[in-house]
Amino acid sequence: STSAMTWTATKITTWGIIGDATPAGWGASTPLAFNAVDGTWTITVDLIGTKYLKFRANNDWAINFGDNSPVDNKPDYGGSDILIANSGNYTITLDIGIAGNYSYTIRRN
């Protein structure tokens, strides 16, 4: 608040994927693992095709990423659901290490 000269911050301790393309559906996040070497969050997981996912922090909707059209593999706060075109095993990487230069990859294995 600029009038009260105060600010708040949310500590992010986890990232996960959620959506009908993911193992837990829209009911719960599937956790990503943090890679301390390169600062990314990753998972290798089976996904369901023609369904969607999003990234979310702390198992809560307060901080979530989608990707607005046109899809550019740069996560957008509160952005659109991300389509998984085909069922299969995927490696997903979320790179939020450099502020303003966020990216993600969803690679079919």
What sign does the CA torsion over 13, 100, 71, 91 have? negative
According to the model, what pLDDT value does residue 16 have? 98
Instruction: Please compute Rg for the chain using Cα positions.
Output: 14
Note if the pTM is more than 0.85. Answer: yes
Amino acid at 17: I
pLDDT in tens, 3-14: 888 888 889 999
Q: Which tens digits make up the pLDDT trace of 38-97?
A: 889 999 999 999 999 999 999 999 999 999 999 999 999 999 999 999 999 999 999 998
Distance, CA of 88 to CA of 109 (rounded, Å): 8
